[in-house]
Amino acid sequence: MPLPTPRSIALGGIGADAHSVGLTLLKHAITEAGHAVHFMGTQNNLDDFFRHAGDVDVVMISCMDGHLRHYLRQFPDLLLRYPDIDALWYAGGNLDVGNSERIRGEARRLGFRRVFPTYVDIPTILSVLAEDLLTRPPAVRARPVAAFRPAQPGTAPPDQRLTEEDLLKQRPAVLESWPTGARARDLADNAAFLLRQPSFAHAHAPGPRGARPFLVQPRSGVALAAEQRTAFVALRRAGADVLSYQIDSLTRNNDYRKAHDAIAESRESGASTLNGFPMVNHGVDVLRELISEVRTPLQTRHSTRDPRLLAEISCAGGVTGFEGGAITYNIPYFKDYSPAQSLRRWQYVDRLVGLYREKFGVVIDREFFGTLTAVLIPPSLAIVVNVIEAMLAAGQGVGSVSLGYAEQGNRSQDIAAVRVLRELGQKYLANLGYPGVQVNVVFHQHMAAFPQDRARAAQLIVASAATGRLSGASRLITKTPVEATSIPSVSDNQEGLQLSRLGALEANGVEVDERTVREEATVLRAEVDQILESVLLAGDGSLTDGVVKAFALGYLDVPFSPSVYNRGEVLTARDVQGAVRYLNTGRLRFSSDVIEFHRSRMSERRRTEQPPVRSEWQLVERDVLRIPSGHYRKWPLDA
């Protein structure tokens, strides 16, 4: 809905939150309505918004991690520092880990005109914007700031294994970065404890007759150790095969001081004020007590900017699975984090894991978040990134890798993707000289926005689990029926586990369209080989150089990424069967046959789309909002 007069809007995400898809769609919707958008991207602080507020009519702050109260603490002081600001303030997303009405009231008292504590659709935002600005005179607007792109991508670390001496030289600075690090210093003591714990890697190993397990893993993560222990016990009783805690957003940005304060606040209030488990602050001994009680293979899941201290404490605490990688925990999450720097930090993590294996016989599984930005991710890109991460990890001595894939919604394509992911992961590791590395595949249930309707969400979870089982994945990471409406409780996760178990059983009665799966697999193999070849050529044989240069050149390009090091030219949408295709291949080095295949599939979609679309972005918006708005018949989309 166009506004009466063109206006200027500052739009961005705040704090550690990295959700960029909705922001990108909202930016295009407001722009297509005829208004100037100063797009700030993700991970801004409150000062950043105030610096731009004097030049715009409206400031829109997005927060999806539930920590808005933490991020707004300086709001009254900044209002005094900037007395001439007259902009309207909006806040939206998943604003609070607890009481959504509480944060609505607090933000309104601070001076926010509109507060949307949970999901709101784009037409509603445009409608209230028009209402609010109908009689308001336009602000004196400054020229929108051009998006920053680094002139130099940085220098990649050498593509070679760190020596033990190199690692031990770096360890003191890492361990001294927060007081709890000191307890992780003794590698031999850590290894002795690790060897007595249930092994995450061993849980994935094939049985005596070669049958692969199908492990089911829920998510969890709260501020206090006692509550985390309670959650683990409940989830184990509900049938979880392996367990993990999600690290909170403050720890992910290495802000241990704020995490410390939030732990104290959680103790005082009796409810978690964090969206995850602040493991660095709790430290080694708390972690050892926790794992000794649950006696289940345990994994650390996070997306931490500098993962080195987290990895040290995780290993020392007896955790035998550690997720993340230089690409998967950078490009989808951070705005200004160079691949060169993340490669260097993750070499440390992988060498630490490799050293535990070589010196002490401890195999710690390393998982890669091939989910990327989760929305409309072309499977070939997810596979390439996983394979690169696996090769980098194996090069540092890692003995077990888990390659992650997020369900996109076309069952034939998803099954093909998982099969090709395992096949090419094993192939490229063997070609590189690492045939003994254990390769597991992880199937994430639909990671994009969930249906608002609880019954539809439950149906999606059941069908998703069936797809995961049919694909031959080693492990399923579950969702809950309340994903769209609230941060899941322990009971919600228990329900998600039960629905997933039901779906895995129902897979026995599902017939796979093997012909279509083979066709999809053929396309994926060609795409993966072409992208990976371009990365290796860009680095002249060096994988680390190739990664840095490939992102700079656009040979690797993740849709919807917030990173300034990602070109953002690749655009994706669904074909008429719901499979994810390249709407724009950007600078990916595909053959003409591959490009024509995707052009043909997307042309068919445009011809049949009703109502017709005016732009590529409108097609993308429909696909992104299709599931949360309920505009689909059944999951999976090709059912």
- What would the mean pLDDT of 476-482 be, rounded to a whole number? 97
The CATH number given to 164-518 is 3.20.20.240
For the ranges 9-23, 195-209, 580-594, the maximum mean pLDDT occurs at 580-594
Count helices and strands in the chain by DSSP H and E runs? 23, 15
Task: Tell me which of 104, 252, 344, 601 is the catalytic residue.
Answer: 252
Strands 58-63 and 8-14: parallel
Domain regions of the chain by residue span: 8-133, 164-518
108 or 140: whose pLDDT is higher? 108
- What would the mean pLDDT of 619-626 be, rounded to a whole number? 94
Please indicate whether the domains covering 8-133 and 164-518 agree at the CATH topology level: no
pLDDT given for residue 1 in this prediction? 47
- What would the mean pLDDT of 99-105 be, rounded to a whole number? 85
CA pair distance 574, 627, nearest whole angstrom: 12
CB 125 within 8 A of CB 107: no
Active site residue 351: no
The confidence band for 137, taking pLDDT boundaries of 50, 70 and 90, is: confident
- What would the mean pLDDT of 397-425 be, rounded to a whole number? 99
- What would the mean pLDDT of 18-35 be, rounded to a whole number? 90
Q: Sign of dihedral through CA atoms 485, 488, 492, 496? A: positive
For the cut 70, the answer to whether the pLDDT of residue 33 exceeds it is yes
Phi, psi at residue 319, to the nearest 5°? Answer: -85, 125
pLDDT given for residue 148 in this prediction? 67
Q: How far is CA 506 from CA 76, 244, 468, 502, 639, in A?
A: 55, 26, 11, 6, 14
- Written out in words, the top-level CATH class of the domain with range 8-133 is alpha beta
∠ CA 143-569-587, nearest 5°, is 135
pLDDT given for residue 144 in this prediction? 53
Summarised one tens digit per residue, pLDDT across range 554-585 is 999 999 999 999 999 999 999 999 999 999 99
Summarised one tens digit per residue, pLDDT across range 502-512 is 999 999 999 99
List all residues 6 or more positions away from 422 whose beta carbon is below 8 Å from its beta carbon. 403, 439, 441, 472
Tokens coding 351: 């060498």
Residue 148 has what DSSP assignment? P
Q: Report the C-alpha dihedral over residues 525, 531, 533, 539, rounded to 10 degrees.
A: -150
The confidence band for 3, taking pLDDT boundaries of 50, 70 and 90, is: very low
What does the mean pLDDT of the chain come to? 95
CA pair distance 7, 1, nearest whole angstrom: 13
CB 385 within 8 A of CB 372: yes
Summarised one tens digit per residue, pLDDT across range 326-350 is 999 999 999 999 999 999 999 999 9
Phi, psi at residue 323, to the nearest 5°? Answer: -95, 155
CB 476 within 8 A of CB 204: no
pLDDT given for residue 433 in this prediction? 97
pTM of the model: 0.94
- 3-state helix/strand/coil string of 333-374: CCCCCCHHHHHHHHHHHHHHHHHHHHHHCCCCEEEECCCCCC
pLDDT given for residue 487 in this prediction? 79
- What would the mean pLDDT of 190-199 be, rounded to a whole number? 98
pLDDT given for residue 209 in this prediction? 75
Tokens coding 475: 């492990």
Q: How many CA atoms lie within 13 A of 604 on its CB side?
A: 12
Query: In one letter, which amino acid is 290?
Result: L
Closest CA to 305 of 274, 347, 333, 277: 333
* Segments in 361-484 forming alpha helices (H): 379-395, 411-431, 454-471
Summarised one tens digit per residue, pLDDT across range 227-283 is 999 999 999 999 999 999 999 999 999 999 999 999 999 999 998 999 999 999 999
Active site residue 165: no
Task: Tell me which of 106, 227, 312, 323 is the catalytic residue.
Answer: 323
CB 240 within 8 A of CB 217: yes
What percent of the chain has a predicted confidence (pLDDT) above 90? 87
- Start-to-end C-alpha separation, the chain: 35
∠ CA 591-595-600, nearest 5°, is 145
